[in-house]
Amino acid sequence: MAADVRGRFVTVEGIDGAGKSTHLGAIASHLGRHGAEVVLTREPGGTPLAEAVRELVLHRAMDAMTEALLVFAARRDHLRTCIEPALARGAIVLCDRFTDATFAYQGWGRGVDAEMLEALERAVQASRQPDLTLWFDLPADEAAARRAAARQADRFEAEDATFFHRVRQGYAARADASPGRFERIDATGTPEQVRIRAFDALERRGW
Ligand code: TYD
C-alpha cells in the first residue's frame, strides 16, 4: 500500500515523579490500535551508544554544559540510527523525553544558555520536531512526594523541589512557544484519572 508512509513522532515529557512512564505502555497500544508499527524508545538512550551515554549522564558528576553536549550527542545517534529510519518506513515513534527535556532540565534547571541549546538543536535535528508532545504536568512539591516513595534516585531525581520548579517553568515556556505541538495533561490525581485525561488529549488531536 503506497498510502501515507510519513511516520509520526510523539514525545512524552514531565518532571521526575509526574508519572509519564506509568502511561507509556497504554499510549503505545492506543497509537498502534489500527495496526501501525509503534517504536517505543527513550532519551537519553534508544540505541546502544546513546544508552551508554545515558549511564554517564544519570550517574557521573559533570558540569551542566557537558550534560547538554552529551544529551545532544546521544540524540544525534538516536535520530540517525533509530528515529529517522522508523519515520521513513511509516512507523509511529513514541519517545519518552526529547529536546524539550534538554531546554527544561539543562536550560531552566541548570542554567545552560538557551541560545547554545537552540544552536545544538538546529545542528543535531535539522528541522525534525515532534508532531505531538504530551506534557504530564504536576507541581514540583507533589512530584517530590511521589519520588520519595519510589526507588533510588539518579542525579536528576536527587535534586530538590526548587530545581524541579524551574524545570516545570521550562516546560511551561516550551508549551507556550509551541501550542500547536503541546498537549498539557494535568497529572494530579490517581493514575486512572491521569490516563483518562491523556486519552482525551489524544482524541482531541485526532490520534
Ligand atoms: P526518566 O525519563 O525520568 O527515566 P526513568 O523514568 O527511567 O527515571 O530519566 C531521564 C532523566 O534524564 C530525567 O531525570 C531527565 C533527564 N534528561 C535531561 O536532563 N535532559 C535531557 O535532554 C533528557 C532527554 C533527559
Domains and CATH numbers, the chain: 2-204 (3.40.50.300)
Identify whether the C-beta of residue 110 lies closer than 8 Å to the C-beta of residue 26: no
Ligand 1 midpoint to CA 184 (Å) = 18
Q: Rounded to the nearest 5°, which phi and psi values hold at 9?
A: -120, 115
Mutation pick for ligand 1 pocket among 20, 156, 166, 168 (CB with most ligand atoms within 8 Å): 156
Identify whether the C-beta of residue 64 lies closer than 8 Å to the C-beta of residue 166: no
Atom of ligand 1 nearest to the CA of 105: 19
Distance CA 156, CA 79 (A): 23
Locate all alpha helices (DSSP H) within the chain, ordered by sequence. Answer: 20-31, 48-59, 64-78, 84-88, 99-101, 114-125, 140-148, 161-177, 191-204
78 Cβ below 6 A of ligand 1? no
Ligand 1 midpoint to CA 5 (Å) = 30
Atom of ligand 1 nearest to the CA of 109: 19
Ligand 1 midpoint to CA 187 (Å) = 17
Q: Where do we find the cell 538543536?
A: 121
The pLDDT tens digits along the chain (207 residues) read: 434 557 999 999 999 999 999 999 999 999 999 999 999 999 999 999 999 999 999 999 999 999 999 999 999 999 999 999 999 999 999 999 999 999 999 999 999 999 999 999 999 999 999 999 999 999 999 999 999 888 788 999 999 999 999 999 999 999 999 999 999 999 999 999 999 999 999 999 988
Mutation pick for ligand 1 pocket among 72, 97, 124, 174 (CB with most ligand atoms within 8 Å): 97
Distance CA 101, CA 110 (A): 12
96 Cβ below 6 A of ligand 1? yes
Q: Are strands 8-13 and 132-137 parallel, antiparallel or unpaired?
A: parallel
CA 37 to chain centre: 20
pTM score of the predicted model: 0.95
